[in-house]
Amino acid sequence: MRLFFLIPILATFFLAHLTQGEETPVIEMGSRGVSNFIAKMEKERKAHVAFLGGSITQKETGHSKKVADWLEKNWSDVDFTFTNAGLSSTCSMTGSFRLDRDVLSQGEVDLLVLEFAVNDDQDAGHDRETAIRGLEGIVRQYFEANPKGDIISVQYVNPEILEKKQNGEEAVSVAAHKTVARHYDLPIVDVGQGLANEIAAGTMTWNENYGGTHPNESGYIFSSGLITKVIEETISGETPQTVAIPVPLDPRSFASIELVDPQAMNWLGGWKWEPVSDALIPLGGIREDYKKYHALRSDEAGDYFYYTFSGNMLGAFVLAGPDAGILEVSIDGGEWSAVDLYHEKYSKGLNYPRSVLLADGLSNAYHTAAIRVSAEKNEQSKGHAATILHIAVNR
């Protein structure tokens, strides 16, 4: 019986456990690593690499730059295109909402480096189900558009994630994202575990050497080295192979998202459609990243809008500042449900970008949503504002 076909699988399994410690591995290669990406570079001498995540990815001198530099140095005969689709404060749900617009629209993507564990933990505070639905939505959308592509799933680290690592535990977001990665046979880079190992060995510190939640130069060198190790240690494939997409972990994952321009809806009342600015949003800071957008804005309780759509979920990407209010939603004339836009941790001084679910678990059919600004508000909020950048529909 010939067993040569097992060599790549055994080699990558052995590598992960030999290199990364006896208990929780820092790197899990999966059965194929990024062999499609390697084959694409070898055969065509061109490749498109995209980076998707929050501000850790967005950092111009971070891993998106260091991994790109490493690739250009080690594959100098390959014509690379790089896309940095990091966006500050965004979670995996928002990532699933904007993947098509910010990544897939840029053309065929041969490798996607994906991180959202920190923001799913500290920013969005997602439970396991939501963290899975967000990341799985990204993975499924990616492979539908790039069936011969590859993904590296990266889990970065904050103090809470690190503390759990040091106690032999895993944060909800990290465990959820690893569950998705293993289900889709993706390489995993657990930066938090790697850092915990180094701290235990006395070779790194959290603040001085790594730099904290947003890594410093040496922190990014460390994490980027783990990412490039996946590429370096992958056994090359002869030609890119179509990736078999398994059944979803959660049938309600955000895998078929369409972003809807709020101008497509019917408004009643004092809604404004204007560029994001201090004039439109007078309270709280506004990050420059978001001033390139228009927003649908209401400051008054009782303002309505209506939207007819086909899908099983209706969501919104909003800016939620000190005056963020509550939206009430009725689907197909049913009971009203409340969606509080105010973020308990971050809305106090910042128009915080966040994604919210307006309606979920619907039948895959046509629905009419009635949405109004509530007369009620979060007790910490100074107003009733709703600032909507995009509506999202999952089909």
The whole-number average pLDDT for the span 366-380 is 97
Residue in 323, 303, 321, 311 with CA at minimum distance from that of residue 358: 311
CB 268 within 8 A of CB 373: no
Task: Tell me the per-residue pLDDT of 304-351, one tens digit each, with 9 for 90 and over.
Answer: 999 999 999 999 999 999 999 999 999 999 999 999 999 999 999 999
CA dihedral 276, 280, 286, 289 (to 10 degrees): 0
| Per-residue model confidence (pLDDT) at position 3 | 29
Q: Which residue reads 């030999």 in tokens?
A: 18
Helix (H) or strand (E) holding 306: strand 304-311
pLDDT confidence tier of residue 4, bands split at 50, 70 and 90? very low
Domain ranges for the chain: 4-233, 257-394
Q: What percent of the chain has pLDDT over 90?
A: 92
Amino acid at the residue 230: V
The strand pairing partners of 315, in sequence order, are 357, 392
CA dihedral 313, 320, 96, 221 (to 10 degrees): -160
Pair of tokens at residue 41: 């570079």
What top-level class would CATH report for the domain 4-233? alpha beta
| Per-residue model confidence (pLDDT) at position 349 | 95
pLDDT at 21 over 50: no
Identify the sign of the CA torsion 291, 264, 312, 104: negative
CATH architecture classification, 257-394: Sandwich (2.60)
Helix (H, G, I), strand (E, B) or coil at 96: helix
